[in-house]
Amino acid sequence: MTATSPDVLVIGGGSTGVGIARDAAMRGFDVTLVEKGNLTHGTTGRMHGLLHSGGRYAVSDQASARECIEENMILRDIAAHCVEDTGGLFVKRPEDSAEYYQRKLEGLVECSIPATELTAQEARAREPFLARDIDKAIEVPDAAIDPFRLCVANAKSAQDHGARIETFSEVTDLLVEDGEIVGAEITHESGAGKRVHGTEGTVEEIHVDHVVNAAGAWTGEIAAMADIDVEVRPSKGVMTIMNVRQVDTVINRCQPKGDADIVVPHETTAILGTTDEEVGDPADYPEEQWEVDLMIEELAKLVPILEDARTIRSFWGVRPLYEPPETGTDDPTDITREFFLLDHDERDAFPGMTTIVGGKLTTYRLMAEQLVDHLAGKFGLDSTSRTAEEPLPGSEDESVLDEAMDDFGLRSPVAKRSAERLGSRTADVLDTDEPNPVVCGCEAVTRAEVADAIEQSGTDLNAVRIRTRAGMGNCQGGFCSHRLANELHPEFDEGQARAALDELYQERWKGQRHALWGKQLSQAMITYAMHALTMNRDRDPATSEDAPDFGAFDAGPASTPGAAEDGESADGATGVVTDGSGGDRRGD
């Protein structure tokens, strides 16, 4: 970076923030991005993974629909390793409005979204688990996208272009001088740089030429630090994850609007969504079981097998909806999905900060482009974004997946899944001389891939999880969280590994609480039995300050007097008695 590069601080490590960081860094800005959790901590990490074709908005919001189809096509190119071309169907049930179906069809044509009508038979031939009584369906180019991989790749690209990315670094104040925002006070949970458990927190003041507020649902809180009023209207939605994919195509219900109207095949799972309900505080709202029940009940009308299929967890996300103050929409489902760029100099006569709010993941790149265009105008820099052409790290060479690739000594489904996640980085990561066992069996993640993730993210095992999918399968970390923690050693010490393990375990438990019936209940009980009882993790003396009360143990078998009295002696003598008599040893 040259000395003249303008400094920009981007607040928020969601898709919008990392997209801006990448675009700005590519255009010559000196970028620092701060995120209070790990990347995707907010709404980005809590979405259903749909890459919109725009079909959803083809009737109600055609401007958004057109943006979606354009961005959809761009992301298939630049983020190939994050996108799965599943295709999508809008399915009409007999009770759904025929008029709306017709309007949908027309809207799709108007927005240049490729659409094909399918008979019920054709739709069921494609997706055999669709309900027998559906009327018909429209095929659209919906796709599945992994928001985690997408954000990590954007952040990595930004870093490659000189940006500094700080996670677990919360903005605790905005710095204001002479009526202008000049930077922010950042509290690093474990110091600057990669997160390492047990490292003492630090506070840093970052002075920049411009601040970008891309804090999603927390946008209002950030603005309020400078007494600026941005009223975000957070709206929660539940998503329920099924253990396996019941469908391999995105299934939308063809209705004007409604809760529980989409199933998205996502990696090994299927995600059911969602609801739309305004909440007061984006960090504190009720997560209720009836919302989960509603997902399954409603979506079973499209895919009946869901009724008895295994659910592995549910999670809630908060949409950072925004509308200009005078609009006053009552129903959150009617609030626009468009995004807004608020230059606080123009809007509030408060220079030094621009806010970007609203929008959706599918259009994250376009939002970033427009925001950086705005900044470039302000600072007189290169005004051409290259993010629509330049592939993200991992997507540089699409042929990797198509060619008969080296399996790096891995079993074929493991090699295949690894390559899908790593894209063009596959060989760099997997080509190792070290033993490379599978660490997470559910998602086929090997030690080499975990090591690569640890290198990127320090001791933060949730960051390892979002990079690799380790811990996201049916046992929800029951059988792999401790193996993942073990991979932190010896680079990090036992206490750090333990803290990282607890954090991952808690995070996995949080979502599983909403899936505790049937097989997932059995799974949770097994996980509990293993971790609490076998590994003693519910009351591990190592986590306590006090020395264990060895006197509370019994003296052991009376027949081994030496061991009974000297149970904890350190002289290496054991209490094992060998039976030299060759007594009654029977094979059965």
Partner 1 sequence: MSDTESRDSREVEQSDTEDGYEPRDIFGTTTEMDLRSGADNCTKVGTCDAECPVAEVDDDFPGPQFQGPEQWRLSSKGDVEIDDSVTKCSNCLRCDSGCPSGVPFSEMHNTARAKYVLEDQPLSIKKIRNRILANYRTSAWLASKLPRTANFFMNNGIVRWLMEKTMKIPSEREFPEFATQTFREWWAERGGEATSKERAQEARAQRGDAPVHSDEKRVAYFHGCYSNYNTTQVAKSMVRAYESLGYEITVPKQKCSGTPMFANGRVDDARRHAKVNVEHLGDAIEDGYDVICTCSSCSLALRQEYPDLFDLDGIDELAAHTYDALEYLRIHEDLEAELEGATVDAPDVAYHAPCHSRNQGLGRQAVELFADVDGVAVTDVGDSCSGISGTYGWKAEKYETSMAIGEEMFEHMEAVDAETGMTECPTCAMQMEHGTGYEIMHPIEVLETALT
Q: Are 332 and 321 in contact (CB under 8 A)?
A: yes
**Closest approach of Cβ 261 to partner 1, in Å?**
19
User: Can you tell me which residue has the tokens 């700005």?
Assistant: 24
Q: Of 138, 123, 132, give the one whose Cα is nearest residue 254.
A: 138
Specify the residue, 343 or 407, whose C-beta has the smaller distance to partner 1. 407
**Closest approach of Cβ 413 to partner 1, in Å?**
4
Q: Between vectors from CA 313 to CA 311 and to CA 314, what angle results, nearest 5°?
A: 110
Helices marked H in 390-478:
399-402, 412-422, 426-430, 447-457, 461-468
**Closest approach of Cβ 475 to partner 1, in Å?**
5
**Closest approach of Cβ 586 to partner 1, in Å?**
8
Specify the residue, 157 or 527, whose C-beta has the smaller distance to partner 1. 527
> For residue 383, which amino acid is it?
S
Q: Of 201, 317, 307, give the one whose Cα is nearest residue 246.
A: 307
Q: Are 529 and 232 in contact (CB under 8 A)?
A: no
Q: How far from chain centre, in Å, is Cα 117? A: 33
What whole-number distance in Å separates Cα of residue 372 and Cα of residue 22?
Answer: 10
**Closest approach of Cβ 236 to partner 1, in Å?**
28
Instruction: Write down how long the chain is.
Output: 588
**Closest approach of Cβ 139 to partner 1, in Å?**
15
What whole-number distance in Å separates Cα of residue 207 and Cα of residue 164?
Answer: 14
What whole-number distance in Å separates Cα of residue 140 and Cα of residue 59?
Answer: 14
Q: Are strands 210-213 and 7-11 parallel, antiparallel or unpaired?
A: parallel
State whether residue 166 is helix, strand or coil: strand
**Closest approach of Cβ 134 to partner 1, in Å?**
12
Per-residue buried b or exposed e for 498-510, using 16+ beta carbons within 10 Å of the residue's own CB: bbbbbbbbebbbe
Specify the residue, 90 or 479, whose C-beta has the smaller distance to partner 1. 479
- Residue 501 has φ and ψ, to the nearest 5°, of -65, -45
**Closest approach of Cβ 340 to partner 1, in Å?**
38
Specify the residue, 320 or 478, whose C-beta has the smaller distance to partner 1. 478
Specify the residue, 47 or 442, whose C-beta has the smaller distance to partner 1. 442
**Closest approach of Cβ 80 to partner 1, in Å?**
16
Specify the residue, 325 or 587, whose C-beta has the smaller distance to partner 1. 587
Specify the residue, 252 or 474, whose C-beta has the smaller distance to partner 1. 474
Q: Are 58 and 78 in contact (CB under 8 A)?
A: no
SS3 content of the chain, % helix, strand, coil (to 5): 40, 20, 40
**Closest approach of Cβ 516 to partner 1, in Å?**
13
Specify the residue, 372 or 442, whose C-beta has the smaller distance to partner 1. 442
Query: Could you tell me the two tokens for 23?
Result: 């675009």
The CB-based long-range contact list for 561-566 (8 Å cut-off, 24+ gap) reads none
Residues near partner 1 (CB under 8 A): 128-129, 131-132, 243-246, 248, 268, 304-305, 308-310, 411-414, 416-417, 441-444, 473-475, 478-479, 519, 522-523, 526, 586-588
Specify the residue, 2 or 412, whose C-beta has the smaller distance to partner 1. 412
Query: Could you tell me the two tokens for 414?
Result: 């493991």
Bin 193: left if φ > 0, else alpha if -120 < ψ < 50, else beta: left
Specify the residue, 173 or 407, whose C-beta has the smaller distance to partner 1. 407
Specify the residue, 418 or 462, whose C-beta has the smaller distance to partner 1. 418
Specify the residue, 518 or 541, whose C-beta has the smaller distance to partner 1. 518
**Closest approach of Cβ 129 to partner 1, in Å?**
7
User: Can you tell me which residue has the tokens 């840093």?
Assistant: 204
Q: Of 317, 268, 319, 316, give the one whose Cα is nearest residue 292.
A: 316
User: Can you tell me which residue has the tokens 């350190």?
Assistant: 570
What whole-number distance in Å separates Cα of residue 316 and Cα of residue 35?
Answer: 20
Query: Could you tell me the two tokens for 105?
Result: 């069809």
**Closest approach of Cβ 291 to partner 1, in Å?**
22
What whole-number distance in Å separates Cα of residue 328 and Cα of residue 345?
Answer: 24
Bin 10: left if φ > 0, else alpha if -120 < ψ < 50, else beta: beta
**Closest approach of Cβ 127 to partner 1, in Å?**
8
